[in-house]
Structure 1
């Protein structure tokens, strides 16, 4: 999917869905998150969704793939 043409909200929603469905945050997901933080002004809702992902990783509910 071409993520360049999509709005940040759509990208974040899709990314969160993929990570929770698979239970794994991949290198590609991490690159997308980094790009979103660097090049977009995120809304409070988007920031909350990303924080929930990070919290789930800290709690061990999600894994990080190398």
Structure 2
């Protein structure tokens, strides 16, 4: 299994798209749980880290400071 490296403010693609039709999510909080925000409608979801890594498909954009 590949090791997915992600960080805060990265834009990720999940395996299933949001009901609003967009599949771009921004990571807005990291810890034991990860909060992601839909780039389409602004809805945010908090997932346990293990579940997030399982459901994440790929990183679209890496955030650069």
TM-score range normalised by the length of the shorter chain: under 0.3
Of the two structures, which has the highest relative contact order with CA contacts closer than 8 Å and spacing of 6 or more? 1
More helix by share: 1
TM-score when scaled to structure 1? 0.27
TM-score when scaled to structure 2? 0.27
